[in-house]
Amino acid sequence: MKLSVFQPVQLRHANRLINHGPTVLVTSAHGGSQNVMAAAWSMPVEFEPPRIAIVIDKTTFTRELVEKSGVFGICIPGAAAVDLTYSAGRTSGRDHNKVKSLHIPVVAGPVTGVPLIEQDCSAWLECRHIPEKHTEDAYDTCFAEVVNAAADPAVFSGGRWQFNDGNKALHTIHHLGGGVFSSSGSCIQGKLLL
């Protein structure tokens, strides 16, 4: 694994990394196996400590690794990673090691050790799975506490997204269905009307 070049994100700002609904890559590892999958449904659910909800189908290899290890990563791909994201979402990790077959360089999460993707990604979050026994048998939604977060300062700094023409390759992507994605546009500053 290579060393991270991302800058730490204060945990009080970690929820801002996913509150605008980007498609994400979920990374997991356990017992020598590792996996990556795409997920379109993730969101913050609490501020402090930062907690998130994400849909990871209970029949997937990723879910199996998450439940065994108790940890996972959420990597936020930029527009430059649209093909990787689509490919990671269309194949199963049970069939082959997607990290290796897709030639994805990963860094080890400093807190959990989970593999994290920085190439063509704008940010990542290290998460500890929160087992919810009453929901795990019936639902695909997982809950987790964010224990560490980092971002590429070219696109996220000062606790905020900084989308502009100079960092379009890192603009987050949003799945519209059928392999079609849109990317985030420029930021617009709102003005208080009161």
Task: For 17-42, write each residue's pLDDT tens digit.
Answer: 988 889 999 999 999 999 999 999 99
Residue 2 lies inside a defined structural domain of this protein: no
Does any domain span residue 55? Answer: yes
We report the CATH number of the domain holding residue 148 as 2.30.110.10
Residue 190 lies in a domain: no
Main-chain phi, psi angles of 90, to 5 degrees? -105, -5
Residue 37 belongs to some domain of the structure: yes
Question: Residue 54: inside a domain, yes or no?
Answer: yes
Q: Are 95 and 61 in contact (CB under 8 A)?
A: no
- Asked if residue 81 is part of any domain, the answer here is yes
For residue 91, the model assigns a pLDDT of 85
How many domains does the structure of the chain reveal? 1
147 SS3 class: strand
> Which pLDDT score is estimated for 1?
63
Question: How high is the pLDDT of residue 134?
Answer: 66
Exposed (0-12), middle (13-18) or buried (19+): which is 37, by Cβ within 10 Å?
buried
Helices (H), 59-155: 61-69, 82-90, 98-101, 133-136
- In this prediction the pTM is 0.92
In a domain, 192, yes or no: no
- The tally of CA atoms less than 13 A away on the side-chain side of residue 64 is 10
Q: pLDDT tens, 62-88? A: 999 999 999 999 999 999 999 999 999
Of 151, 77, 146, the C-alpha closest to 114 is: 146
Q: Residue 73 is part of which domain span?
A: 7-183
Give the closest residue to 126 by CA, choosing from 31, 11, 35: 11
Would residue 193 count as lying in a domain? no
pLDDT tens for 117-157 read 999 999 999 999 998 776 666 789 999 999 999 999 999 99
What is the sign of the dihedral through the CA atoms of 51, 53, 58 and 61? negative
* CA gap 82, 87 in Å, rounded: 9
